[in-house]
Amino acid sequence: MSFDLVLFGGTGDLAWRKLMPALFQAFRHGTLPRDGRIIGVGRDDLSNAQYQAQICARFDQVELAKRPSEEEFCRFAALLEFVQMDLSHPDDYARLVAKLAERQADVVVMYVATAPSLFTTVCQQLAIAGLNTRQTRVVLEKPLGHDLASNRAINRTVSEVFGEKHIFRIDHYLGKPSVQNLFALRFGNALFEPLWRREHIANIQITIAEELGVEQRGAFYETTGALRDMVQNHALQLLCAIGMEPPINSHADAIRDEKLKVLRSLKPWTAESLTQDVIRGQYAAGSIGGAPVAAYREETGVDPHSHTETFVALRTEISNWRWAGVPFYIRTGKRLASRDARIVVNFQPTPHAIFNSQIGDANRLVINLQPKDGLELHLLAQGQSNRRNSQTLSPVQLDLDFDKRFGSERVGAYERLLLEVIDGRLNLFVRSDEQEEAWRWVEPILEHWKNDTLGPRLYAAGTWGPSASSAMIARDGFCWAEES
């Protein structure tokens, strides 16, 4: 199969940090279709050779294991071409038309890795240039809008020129191997399904924590914040994967129909719950790994009086028969105590204690997403003891590390997603109604914060966020996993 992958924003940060390394890994693994071209698009005046040299230099900054040898890059570079375009100038699209007309590829992927303000412009101009054909697929990076109204406007414009089956709204968390194994755990094994409900689960915690601050993206983060950047997309997609009903089959719409039901079942916000069950924070000065780090308000591009949140913790419920009454806790933030993304499923305690001691929260399933990737099952067992009739139980765990088990077979998120686009599979991409429902649910939080003059709670960099986050979960008689 022949393909042309057109990368709008071909000289941008996402292109060299994520997309080019992912495409190279697919090339190295032999999974990238052989007859392909990767066409970078940007405003710079670059020849193909200059563009290839620029990408080659950028590979020095990716992980050592993912860097190509000189011989490997020479072969990969043969796929790379460049077209100079100003995306806001309609006349420039003629250059892209001419480039694509050099051959008639079976599949043309338009990857729009630009500022969100250009999404509709690019799609409209592609249609005017006659490039929205049956062979064309368009990939849209997040954030897709900054609220429900802007998201609807983008989706409406894009859908006027591309059919839904040609639109790939990307959320890279859905391509992570650990998230793929979450679906496998739930729908490929019968072991947990009988327990996956309110009668057996006490609470579920979703944590996406980062040690990094906003780095050089302060100006971008000022207009985004943690709720838009992480909760509206990544965290809610994880919640859907945990909470959804088994789909009737593995087809894209069957999966996305069930995720949509979860989003529509999320408990609506009230004035009381917005006050008690949503915590926003912002990192102050502190230390990471023993080194001092600056406060968010001291970062480049950040307003010194900023109210932008770098941390969010919230409590919600899925109002249906399977999950009624089970609290779901979501927590995400920057400059936290460690880089740690995981889902913790805490099971109910035994209904009748026959041992002398019971350890709280001992029965739990931990789904590690990053940096560790795997499953931990925490149980209680009776160990060796000098006491003849000891009834004391000790915590034990079964630990499955997917990286150790599968090793080189593992495929990175962007690598998997790019191959899925070329193959035309929509399973790992977000449908427009899913996205709009997620925005609809978070919008009351955004409105509430607009009228909150107190602003975010400050927390020291290198901690687990504001103490109010722990107080929120403690009201239900629970605690975050690292506090137990």
**Catalytic residue IDs:** 234
Residues 117, 119, 124: CA angle, nearest 5 degrees: 120
Q: Which residue has the tokens 């009230």?
A: 270
